Amino acid sequence: MGTPGVHPTKQLVTVRAVADCGLEGDRFFRTDKVSKGQITFFSIETYEEMKKQLNIANVPVELCRRNIIVRGIDVMSLIGKKFNIGDVEFEGTMDCTPCGWVDNAFGKGALAFLNEVGGGLRAKILKSGNINIGQTNLKVL
């Protein structure tokens, strides 16, 4: 199992999402089209419930290693659907299965919890544009 946090995370005010490539500056940014998704989404409610269930505190959500953290959205319900945030268009492709090291990052039981409820959403970027922190206009197409 790898060590969580080897690659530092950044909280950005704005990020450029590029169709078929990913997020500019992300270590997984690619110019080929072989990926089943170029961006990942995670629900803050899932994170908060995991902390409650595992009785943990002071573990930042960044350790989930997902690109976009959302509130009030069931990200798993977006699998197979097209949606947008502002001008950026996405297609939800699959569950973003958690890696085994989440037990090291969050505590014993994190992997089992996320495997049960979903580790987040992997999505393709269909139309490029900017995503701003605090944007609240996710719309299913």
pLDDT band at 84 (very low <50, low <70, confident <90, very high): very high
Q: What is the mean pLDDT of the chain?
A: 85
- Per-residue pLDDT at 2 exceeds 50: no
Digit-coded pLDDT (tens) for 15-70: 899 999 988 887 777 766 667 789 999 999 999 999 999 998 888 887 777 888 89
Indicate which CATH number applies to the domain containing 76: 2.40.33.20
Number of domains in the chain: 1
pLDDT for the residue 134: 78
Is 124 part of any domain? yes
Domain limits for position 74: 14-130
Chain centroid offset of residue 134 CA = 15
- pTM here is 0.86
Q: How far is CA 79 from CA 55, 56, 102, 106, in A?
A: 29, 29, 23, 26
